[in-house]
Amino acid sequence: MIHELPFDLVIFDLDGTLVDSVTDIARALNSALAGVNLRPLSLETVSRFVGDGAARLIERASPASLADPEQQAALLARFVAAYAANVCVESRLYPGVADLLGALANAGAITAVLTNKPGNLARDLLRALGIADRFTAVIGDLDGFPRKPDPAAAIEVMRRTGTKASRTAVVGDGLPDVRMARAIPCPAIAAGWGYTPMPHLQAEHPAFLAPFVQDAARILLPGNPAA
C-alpha cells in the first residue's frame, strides 16, 4: 500500500543529525589550538560548541587571552585547513540515516542539507560518505546565505523546488534548526540523537521530538514499512 507523505521537502542539518562528525572536528580544532600552545578540548566539550559555524566554534574554544580579531582569524584558518585535510576520517552516518534517505527517495520526497559548516567542507564530507547525490541542494556557510537560524537559504530551496512551507519539514539536532523552522515557518523535527541535550530542544517547542532516527522516519514516512 502506498501512503501519502506528509512532507514533500525534508531539510536536514548535517553535523549531529545525518553525521556523527565530532571526532574529526575535535581533531582539527585541537590541532589548531596546539599550534598556538593551547590545551586540547574533550569530545564532550567540542560537541557543545558545534552548530553555529566554524567562526563561532573558534570563539567558543578560545580563551580570553586570544580574543583579538586577527588572532581569531588566524586560528580559524588553521582549523579550516586541518579539517579540510581530514574531513572524513572517523565521521560516520548515524545508524538508520542511510535507510531513511533511501526510503525518502523511493517515496518521492525531495531532500536538502542546510548547515552552518562551511559549504565546501559539507559537500566534501557528504561525497566522502557516499550520500551527496541524495540531496537536491547542500548549502552551508560562505555559500551566499546567512547562517541558520536565518531562514533565507531554506526559503530559496523551497523556491527552487516549488515547495510550500506547510509541506516542508526541518530535521536537526541544533537550536538553530528549530529556530529556522519557526522562522520559515514550517514543522521542526528535533533530532534527539545528536549533540544538543533533549531538554534544550524541548524548550524550543518543536513540532516533533525524535529521540532516534527511527522516530524521525516514522514521522516523515507514516505507515511505510521501511521506516
pLDDT in tens, the chain (227 residues): 345 899 999 999 999 999 999 999 999 999 999 998 999 999 999 999 999 999 999 999 988 777 788 989 999 999 999 999 999 999 999 999 999 999 999 999 999 999 999 999 999 999 999 999 999 999 999 999 999 999 999 999 999 999 999 999 999 999 999 999 999 999 999 999 999 999 999 999 999 999 999 999 999 999 875 55
Measured CA to CA in angstroms, residue 54 lies from 61, 152, 179, 212, 221 at distances of: 10, 19, 19, 26, 33
The parent domain of residue 124 ranges over 9-21+92-220
Query: How many whole angstroms separate alpha carbon 13 and alpha carbon 176?
Result: 10
Q: Would you state the cell numbers that stand for residue 128, as one nine-digit string?
A: 566522502
CATH number for the domain spanning 212: value is 3.40.50.1000
34: nearest Cα among 61, 70, 57, 68:
61
Residue-level pLDDT at 2: 44
The reply to whether the predicted model has a pTM over 0.75 is yes
Residues 179, 190 contacting (CB under 8 angstroms): no
Residues 76 and 26 in one domain: yes
Residues 101 and 157 in one domain: yes
Residues 39, 140 contacting (CB under 8 angstroms): no
Residue-level pLDDT at 66: 77
Residues 79 and 164 in one domain: no
Please check whether residue 4 lies inside any domain of the structure. Answer: no
Please check whether residue 2 lies inside any domain of the structure. Answer: no
In order, the DSSP letters of 102-166 are HHHHHHT-EEEEEEEEEHHHHHHHHHHTT-GGG-SEEEEETSSSPPTT--HHHHHHHHHHT--GG
Residues 16 and 54 in one domain: no
Residues 187 and 203 in one domain: yes
Residues 52 and 161 in one domain: no
Quote the DSSP letter at residue 64: G
Residues 55 and 28 in one domain: yes
Residue-level pLDDT at 225: 59
Please check whether residue 167 lies inside any domain of the structure. Answer: yes
Residue-level pLDDT at 64: 78
The residue out of 45, 61, 85 marking a domain boundary is 85
Residues 62 and 142 in one domain: no
Residues 207 and 140 in one domain: yes
Of the residues 13, 15, 52, 173, only one is catalytic, namely 13
Dihedral sign, Cα of residue 123, residue 124, residue 125, residue 128: positive
Measured CA to CA in angstroms, residue 24 lies from 21, 79, 204, 206 at distances of: 6, 11, 28, 29
Please count the structural domains in the chain: 2
Residues 53 and 114 in one domain: no
Residues 180 and 68 in one domain: no
CATH number for the domain spanning 79: value is 1.10.150.240
Q: What are phi and psi of 138, to 5 degrees?
A: -130, 110
**Does an H or E element contain 172, and which?**
strand 168-172
Residue-level pLDDT at 226: 54
The residue out of 59, 85, 111 marking a domain boundary is 85
Helix-strand-coil split of the chain, %, nearest 5: 45, 15, 35
Residues 65 and 118 in one domain: no
Residue-level pLDDT at 102: 97
The maximal CA–CA distance of the chain, rounded, in angstroms, is 62
60: nearest Cα among 51, 175, 77, 125:
51
- 150 as an active site residue: the answer is no
